[in-house]
A and B are shown apart, each in its own frame.
Chain A
Amino acid sequence: MSARGIIFVVDDEVRILTSLENLLTAVGYQVRPYDSAEVFLAAPKPEVPCCVILDLNLGTPVGWMCNDN
C-alpha cells in the first residue's frame, strides 16, 4: 500500500496512541506517534502535507498551546 501522507498523533494514553498508530498504518498512512506535546512541538516537521491528531487534554496546558501554534 502506498504512503498517503504523514499523520502526527499526540496522546499521552499509550494504548490510544499505539492503537491509532496501528490503525492508520494499516490503512496506508505514515504515522509519527508522540506521547507528549513537548516532544511533538520539538520534533522536525517535514515540508509535505501533514495532519495532526491531538489529544487536547494532555494533563498540562501544552495540548491547548499546540492548538494555538
Chain B
Amino acid sequence: MDKICGSLQEHSAGKWNSLSACDSFSYDHGRTSRSYETLMANSVARPCPSVSLDVAAAIVHEISQPLTAIVANAHAADHYLSADHVDLEALRATIRSILSDSLDASQTIRDTSVLFRRGSTDDAPVDLLSAINDVLLQLDSKIRKYAINTYLFIDDAVRIVAGNGLQLRQVLTNLMTNAIESMEENCEWPRDMEIRVSGEGRMVLIEIADRGHGIVDCEKIFDAFFSTKKAGMGMGLRICRTIIEAHKGRLWASARCDRGTVLTFALPLAEKLA
C-alpha cells in the first residue's frame, strides 16, 4: 500500500500541473448524451432505487446461460464415457468447458452480490483516496501487464463521501478495469489512465479517463446485456450505475475529443464531514 501511494504521488507530481492547467478533461460535447445540469436535476427527482427489474433479469440471464451450458456438457461427458471407445480428448475439452462456465457463473454471483450487501455501513464516510489506492493495489498486476501509466489528481477538500465503501470500491474496480482493458490494443497513444476527483457545487466528481478504443454509444454501454468485450459480463456498467444511483449520484460516459473515453460519477458530498 505504502509503495503504491508513494509511487503514485511521485509519478503524478510532474503531471498534476498539466492536469490543473485545464479545468477538466476535454470532452466532445456533441457526443455527450446528457448535460451535467440535466443529470443533477434528474437525480433530485429520482427516488433512491433498489435493484431494478432489468438488472435482476440480467443477473438471471448471466447465471442461467453458463448453467444451461454446464448441464448440456455434463450430459455430453456422460455420453462420451458410455461409448465403447472413450474419446479422451473430447471428454477433457468438455470438462474444461464445465470448469470455465462454473467459474463464470460464480464470478457473476460475486460481482452482483455486492448489490445486496446493505446495512449499517451504508452511510459511513468513505475516503476516496484510500478507496482508489486500494483498487489500484488490487489491479496492480493488470496495470503492469498492460503497461498502463496511472495519474491521480485529487482535491483533498472533497475526498470524503458518505456511502457503502464496498459498493463504491466495486464501481471503481469495474471502471478502472474497463479503462485498462480498453487500451490493450492501443499502440499509438500513451497508455494513460487518469483519475481525477474534484468538487462541483455540492457534488464530488470522480472521472476515470482512458486512451482506449473509445465508445460509439454513450448510453448503450449501460444496457444490461451490452458488452464490447469478446467474453464476460455485459452487465458490469449497469450494476455500477445502480450502485451510484442508490447513492443519490449519477454515472455517465463521454467521448474524449481526440481518443478515449471518460467515465464520470458524481456523488453528494458527505454533509457533516465536508
**Taking beta carbons and an 8 Å cutoff, which residues of A are in contact with B?**
1, 13-16, 18-20, 22-23, 25-27
Contacts and interface: CB of A to CB of B under 8 A. Distances in A.
Interface residues of B, number: 19
A20 B69 CA distance: 7
A22 B66 contact: no
Given A15-B69, A19-B73, 5 more contacts: A15-B65, A15-B97, A16-B65, A23-B73, A23-B76
B127 interface: no
Contacts of A27: 76, 79
Contacts of B83: 1
Given A1-B83, A15-B101, A26 B76 contact: yes
Contact of A16 (B69, B75, B231): B69
27 contacts: A1-B83, A13-B65, A14-B231, A15-B97, A16-B69, A18-B69, A18-B97, A19-B70, A19-B76, A19-B97, A19-B101, A20-B72, A22-B72, A22-B90, A22-B93, A22-B94, A22-B97, A23-B72, A23-B75, A23-B79, A25-B90, A26-B75, A26-B76, A26-B77, A26-B79, A26-B90, A27-B79
A15 B80 contact: no
Dominant secondary structure at the A interface: helix
B68 interface: yes
Contacts of A1: 83
Nearest to A20: B72
A19 B96 CA distance: 11
Interface of B: 65-66, 68-70, 72-73, 75-77, 79-80, 83, 90, 93-94, 97, 101, 231
Contact of B76 (A14, A15, A25): A25
B79 A19 contact: no
B65 A26 contact: no
B69 A26 contact: no
B68 A26 contact: no
A49 B235 CA distance: 40
Nearest to B94: A22
Contacts of A20: 72
Given A1-B83, A26-B80, A19 B90 contact: no
B98 to A, nearest CB: 9
Nearest to A17: B69
